[in-house]
A and B are shown apart, each in its own frame.
Chain A
């Protein structure tokens, strides 16, 4: 399956890029599996996850075409 991955704010700076296009094989592929493809480091405790613009967590199972975003706590308003 093909997944678009986006990074925002301080995490984008740390990753050195704003997005990735990732191909994953197999079924029951989770956000945690995806993270291990894009980074050698464990996901930081405060990082938030959204799949298709809805908040979720790293156990979320992905499907082809999903857009996954990783970002630090939000600071708007």
Chain B
């Protein structure tokens, strides 16, 4: 398992190839499922010029590692790789990579979906967008999640 937070531009496909060579025994996995999240040039009807991604160092890594471990406990997964950008980025930049290796595809599909969904719900990152008019605004919630699940987290964590 590898979790990395980086300020550098992210080339997700190079990361997958490099990690597979370095960490996976050759010939044992039947596939890798990859999710790459990229930056849009619009959000809530506004045109976005750039974005700054803030995070809570230490807590972020801890919670992503926990989500990956939960996925490895739940499905028959050989390995997981998560790389997340922070700092300044522009539309089309990759923001996040989740890659999951398994012997059979169902496990890696299910585990990859679980990891990205719970990363978005629990990992302390915050997007601050700069619009084409130069206005700065913090994104208040992810589009898939109105925030309700995060309130529940406090009770169940």
Q: Which residues of A contact B54 (CB under 8 A)?
A: 8-9
The 8 A CB mask of B112-146 against A (1 = contact, 0 = none) is 00001001111111111000000000111110010
**A1-55, CB < 8 A from B:** 6, 8-10, 13, 46, 48-50, 53-55
Interface residues on B, range: 35 or more
CB neighbours (8 Å) of A76 from chain B are 53, 55, 60, 84, 96, 119-120, 123-127, 142
Given A9-B126, A53-B58, A56-B154, are A74 and B121 neighbors across the interface (CB < 8 Å)? yes
Return 23 A-B CB contacts under 8 Å, by A number.
Answer: A6-B56, A9-B126, A9-B128, A13-B138, A46-B147, A48-B154, A53-B59, A53-B62, A55-B153, A56-B154, A57-B155, A69-B59, A69-B124, A71-B124, A74-B120, A74-B123, A74-B125, A75-B125, A75-B138, A75-B141, A76-B84, A76-B96, A76-B125
Q: Using A74-B125, A76-B53 as known contacts, say yes or no to A54 and B142 having CB atoms under 8 A apart.
A: no
Does B47 make an interface contact (CB < 8 A)?
A: no
Chain A hits for B31, CB < 8 A: none
The digit string for B47-67, where 1 denotes a CB below 8 A from any CB of A, is 000000111101110100000
Q: Quick check: A49 and B119 within 8 Å, CB to CB?
A: no
Majority-rule SS of A interface residues: mixed
**Given A69-B124, A76-B142, A77-B142, 16 new contacts (CB under 8 A):** A8-B54, A50-B124, A53-B56, A55-B122, A55-B157, A56-B154, A73-B145, A75-B127, A75-B138, A75-B139, A75-B140, A76-B55, A76-B60, A77-B84, A77-B95, A77-B125
A71 touches B126 (CB 8 A): yes
B6 in the interface (beta carbon within 8 A): no
> Nearest A residue to B115 by beta-carbon distance?
A77
Question: Which A residues are in CB contact (< 8 Å) with B155?
Answer: 57
Residues of A with C-beta under 8 A to B125: 74-77
B123: nearest chain-A partner, CB-CB: A76
By CB atoms of chain A within 10 A, which of B95, B96, B142 has the most?
Answer: B142
Report the minimal beta-carbon distance from A61 to chain B, rounded to whole angstroms: 15
